[in-house]
């Protein structure tokens, strides 16, 4: 059967029904008596994402014996938190395109985008509290707190061409991997798994989250904007120095490094490719994905763990 | 003794020690290994606010038998949520002055202000979850959710010169009173009060919160910018139609109303004063404050209830 399914379909297969129901949950969560909220909600629902974070909750839960309604509620909260950060990122970056559609700040304005993001943040915790899912809320608020610390760290490191690979990885871990890790941990809790399995799944999530961010940063240099549904080159434009450039600069002479700081986009991309920055970053991402797979190898084969292993490979091989 | 104390000092007297400790709690909560977070934290700590919302938590708790550490933790979370909204408001309104000091978006930039706000939102819930204060977190996430709905509703009603008083009051309740009400309810819970007392304190908080917002809106027309530490006139400039103008428009002829929509600031203020819009709004605020006092009259006299009654009067008589 698997030969007729795309890799994405194979990955989502064990929780496909749950993911379909999640789409309805999202539409319902975005509905509001306030016209503006419900109009934006419709737009967000149409802006279909990859739903990676909620899928992590559902797959991790599926390893154990989850209550389906509870894992879907946690998946809903994780996706709302993620969407809140997208609304804020697009607004402060003045981005006009996301997932192939105009952004909320483009269709409405920055103010609306920021406040709608706040609304989703608060509502995400509210839906968990309303259902008494306090341990889930605790893990997700800690993960979200780390995520925002990562975003602050990223701004602190802006235009710092001298940042180390370690500082970059630490930032990527906080900014992206902490929510991936929290999503997996929450799934493990809902599946009723033990402390050790919970910690393994968290490691898995953090590993693929860091790898995911590195690949994102690579694609911002070499991706195809039409495939990704958003423009490339925004990291460098905003002074975010990422792994492909960090690695390339390590191989450069002092004069070359000086020149690159003031160089045009095309020259920077050429420099990174010549100095092996893309391959280096990709290799680090692959290594992280392998380590993530190893972290859950002890669970033995089941549809959910197979999907998680496949997802780890797929995320580092993606072009979108 | 009371004759030598200002009204503000009389109000805070029953929880003065707790409020002093809260300042240290805030400094500690804002501290971070991330340079940018800790620099903004220092600025926020210096930007001393009136601390009304945390004071509500502490005073409401004091009516019962609170654990002081718990009520201070809840007060800390409420103030962090409030500060998060200020960071976002200032950023999207491009405000440059708050509490007499330059805003975070002025000293740093809009991006930093938005992300730091997100950080405070997430951290507020995290500090509660970390201490197992789940019922407190539940009430505050519901209150914050309503608050963001109020902000969205406000944007939906922008430039709607025809909005009714009822729609305005509903918006003010959501936007401002829901967090005031949640703060009081949380205090009641921590003080171990019963359901009925909890509901009375929530009504009190919602009443003074709505009154507070109306007075804020009045001051945006007739306040003294140097006393308030922020400029006036920003509501109208941003298309926010508030009670003084709504009330004045009700008294106007159709031609006059048409003229006011396109009029300059000075003319709008003159029109509102002539048509009694300021007095009308102030009278509504006073009536709400009286009803709030009545809601807690059943508790009998004690230092905390006396302070809450005094606060209700003071908030509608303020000029800052």
Shortest Cα distance, chain A CAs vs residue B52, angstroms: 21
pLDDT at res. B2: 46
Alpha carbon of A150 to those of A146, B33, B37, B55, B95: distances in Å? 6, 11, 10, 32, 26
Q: Do A122 and B121 touch (CB under 8 A)?
A: yes
Enter the DSSP assignment of B6: -
Q: Provide, as residue numbers in chain B, all residues whose Cβ is less than 8 Å from the Cβ of A116.
A: 152
Confidence grade of residue A91 (pLDDT, cut at 50, 70, 90): confident
E strand or H helix that includes residue A263: none
pLDDT score at A207:
98
The predicted-structure confidence for A271-282, as pLDDT tens digits, reads as follows: 999 999 999 999
**Would you call B125 and A137 a contact, using CB atoms and an 8 Å cutoff?**
yes
| Closest Cβ opposite residue B111 in set A129, A142, A155 | A155
% of chain A residues with pLDDT over 70: 99
Question: If pLDDT is split at 50, 70 and 90, which confidence band does A1 have?
Answer: very low
Residue of A88, A126, A238 to mutate when probing chain B, most B C-beta within 10 A: A126
What CA–CA distance (Å, rounded) separates B161 from B259? 12
What residue in A sits closest to B146 (Cα-Cα)? A119
Asked whether the beta carbons of residue A122 and residue B32 sit closer than 8 angstroms, the reply is no
CB contact under 8 A, B129 and A137: yes
pLDDT, position A3: 56
SS3 B103: coil
Contact B151 A91 (CB under 8 A): no
Name the DSSP letter for residue A64: S
In tens, the pLDDT along A176-203 reads: 999 999 999 999 999 999 999 999 999 9
- Dihedral sign for Cα A190, A194, A199, A201, please: negative
Cβ atoms of residues A303 and A11 within 8 Å: no
| Inter-chain residue contact A121 with B123, CB threshold 8 Å | no
**Token pair for residue B317?**
């008589």
| Binary contact (A144, B122; C-beta < 8 A) | yes
Which residue out of B38, B78, B130, B149 would a mutagenesis test of the A interface target, given it has the greatest number of A Cβ atoms within 10 Å?
A: B149
Residue B201, both tokens: 């304190």
Give the model confidence (pLDDT) of A17-31 as tens digits. 999 999 999 999 999
Average pLDDT in the A93-104 region? Answer: 83
Quote the percentage of chain A above a pLDDT of 90: 82
Give phi and psi for B102, each to the nearest 5.
-60, 145
Q: Cβ of B129 and A141 within 8 Å?
A: yes
pLDDT over 90 (residue A269): yes
Q: Find the length of chain B.
A: 320
CB A272 within 8 A of CB A243: no
Q: Which chain B residues are within 8 Å of A152, Cβ to Cβ?
A: 32, 34, 36-37, 112, 115-116, 119
H helix or E strand, kind and range, residue A236: helix A234-237
Give the Cα separation of B256 and B21 in Å (integer): 53
Compare all CA atoms of chain B with the CA of A140 and give the residue at the minimum distance.
B126
Query: Which residue is listed with tokens 């968290």?
Result: A202
pLDDT value at position A2? 46
pLDDT averaged over every residue in chain A: 94
What is the per-residue pLDDT across B208-232, written as a single tens digit (0 to 9) for each?
Answer: 999 999 999 999 999 887 777 777 8
Angle A177-A224-A241 (CA atoms, 0-180°, nearest 5)? 45
Q: Give contacts of A95 with chain B, Cβ < 8 Å.
A: none
Residue A16, C-beta contacts closer than 8 angstroms, at least 6 positions apart: A9
| Tens digit of each residue's pLDDT (9 = 90 or more) over B36-63 | 999 999 999 888 889 999 999 999 999 9
As to burial, measured by CB atoms within 10 angstroms (0-12 exposed, 13-18 middle, 19+ buried), residue A110 is buried
pLDDT digits (tens, 9 = 90+) for A128-187: 999 999 999 999 999 999 999 999 999 999 999 999 999 999 999 999 999 999 999 999
Determine, for residues A142 and B123 on separate chains, whether the beta-carbon distance falls below 8 Å. Answer: no
Backbone phi and psi for residue A98, each to the nearest 5 degrees, phi listed first? -150, 125
**More reliable by pLDDT, B231 or A47:** A47
What local confidence, expressed as pLDDT, does residue A319 receive?
77
Kind and range of the H or E element at B275?
none
The string of pLDDT tens digits covering residues B122-163 is: 999 999 999 999 999 999 999 999 999 999 999 999 999 999
Contacts of A173 (CB under 8 A, 6+ apart): A150, A206, A209, A210
pLDDT at B3 over 60: no
User: What are phi and psi for residue B97, nearest 5 degrees?
Assistant: -140, 135
Q: Which residues of A touch B93 (CB under 8 A)?
A: 111
Residues of B with a Cβ under 8 Å from any A Cβ are 32, 34-37, 84-85, 88, 91-93, 110-112, 114-119, 121-123, 125-126, 129-130, 134, 137-138, 141-142, 144-145, 147-149, 151-153, 155-156
- The full set of domains in chain B, from first to last, is 2-313 (1.10.600.10)
Q: Which residues of chain B does A122 touch, with a Cβ-Cβ cutoff of 8 Å?
A: 121, 141, 144-145, 147-148
Rounded to whole angstroms, how far apart are CA atoms B20 and A308?
Answer: 50
Q: How many CB pairs under 8 A join A and B?
A: 139
Q: Is pLDDT at B32 greater than 60 in this prediction?
A: yes
Q: What is the distance of C-alpha A50 from the center of its chain?
A: 9
Distance between CA atoms of A54 and A73, rounded to whole angstroms?
Answer: 9
When scoring A111, A136, A146, A178 by the number of chain B Cβ atoms within 10 A, the one with the most, hence best to mutate, is: A111
Prediction ipTM score: 0.94
A-chain residues near B36 (CB < 8 A): 152-153, 155-156
Q: What is the pairing mode between strands A101-102 and A97-98? A: antiparallel
Residue A214: the pLDDT is 98
Summarize pLDDT for A63-89 with one digit per residue, the tens.
Answer: 999 999 999 999 999 999 999 999 998
Residue B206 phi, psi (nearest 5): -65, -40
Question: Who's near B288: CB < 8 A, 6+ residues apart?
Answer: B207, B208, B210, B211, B214, B316
Q: Residue A128: in which H helix or E strand, if any?
A: helix A110-130
Cα B12 from Cα B314, distance rounded (Å): 12
Q: Quick check: A114 and A87 in contact, CB under 8 A?
A: yes
Nearest alpha carbon to residue A185 among A57, A52, A79: A57
Q: Residue A34 is nearest to which of B111, B122, B156, comparing CB atoms? A: B156
Mutate to test the interface with A, among B125, B142, B182, B239 (most CBs of A within 10 A): B125
Judged by CB atoms closer than 8 Å, whether chains meet at B152 and A122 is answered as no
Q: How far is A267 from chain B (nearest CA, A)?
A: 28
pLDDT band for A92, please (50, 70, 90 cuts).
confident
Cβ–Cβ of A35/B156 closer than 8 Å?
Answer: yes
**B181: which residues sit within 8 A by CB, 6+ positions away?**
B143, B202, B203, B205, B206, B209
Q: Which residues of chain B make contact with A145, given a CB cutoff of 8 A?
A: 119, 122-123, 126
Of A317 and B98, which is predicted with more confidence? A317
Q: Say whether A27 sits in a helix, a strand or coil.
A: helix
> Mind telling me how many Å the CA of A126 is from chain B's nearest CA?
5
Both structure tokens of A154: 């990223």
**What's the first-to-final CA gap in chain B, in angstroms?**
25
* pLDDT tens, position by position, B80-98: 999 999 999 888 878 888 8
Which of these, B161, B154, B214, lies nearest to B222 by C-alpha position? B214
For residue A211, the distance in angstroms to the closest alpha carbon of chain B comes to: 23
Is B111–A92 a contact, with Cβ atoms under 8 angstroms apart?
A: yes
Contact B64, B192 (CB under 8 A): yes
For B275-310, how does the pLDDT look when each residue is reduced to its tens digit (9 = 90+)? 999 999 999 999 999 999 999 999 988 999 999 999
With CA atoms as reference, the chain B residue closest to A123 would be: B145
Paired tokens of A64: 């154990």
């Amino acid at each position: 059967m698997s030969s007729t399914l795309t890799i994405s379909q194979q990955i989502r297969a064990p929780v496909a029904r749950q993911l379909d129901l999640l789409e309805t949950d999202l539409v319902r969560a975005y509905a509001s008596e306030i016209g503006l909220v419900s109009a934006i909600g419709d737009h967000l629902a149409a802006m279909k994402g990859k739903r990676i974070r909620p899928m992590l909750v559902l797959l991790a839960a599926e390893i154990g014996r989850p209550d389906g309604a509870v894992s879907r509620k946690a998946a809903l909260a994780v996706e709302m938190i993620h969407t809140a950060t997208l609304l804020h990122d697009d607004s402060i970056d003045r981005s006009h395109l996301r997932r192939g559609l105009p952004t909320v700040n483009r269709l409405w304005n920055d103010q609306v985008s920021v406040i709608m993001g706040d609304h989703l943040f608060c509502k995400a915790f509210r839906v968990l509290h309303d259902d008494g899912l306090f341990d889930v809320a605790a893990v997700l608020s800690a993960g979200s707190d780390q995520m925002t610390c990562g975003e602050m760290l990223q701004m602190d490191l802006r235009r710092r061409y001298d940042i180390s690979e370690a500082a970059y990885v630490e930032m990527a871990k906080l900014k992206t991997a902490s929510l991936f890790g929290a999503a997996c941990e929450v799934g493990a809790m809902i599946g009723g798994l033990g402390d050790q399995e919970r910690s393994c799944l968290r490691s898995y999530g953090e590993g693929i989250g860091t790898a995911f961010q590195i690949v994102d940063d690579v694609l911002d240099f070499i991706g195809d904007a039409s495939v990704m549904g958003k423009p490339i080159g925004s990291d460098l434009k905003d002074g975010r120095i990422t792994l492909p450039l960090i690695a390339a600069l390590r191989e450069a002479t002092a004069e070359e490094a000086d020149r690159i700081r003031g160089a045009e986009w095309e020259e920077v991309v050429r420099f990174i490719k010549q100095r092996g920055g893309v391959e280096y970053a990709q290799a680090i991402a692959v290594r992280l994905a392998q380590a993530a797979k190893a972290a859950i190898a002890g669970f033995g084969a089941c549809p959910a763990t197979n999907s998680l292993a496949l997802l780890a490979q797929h995320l580092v091989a993606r072009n979108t």
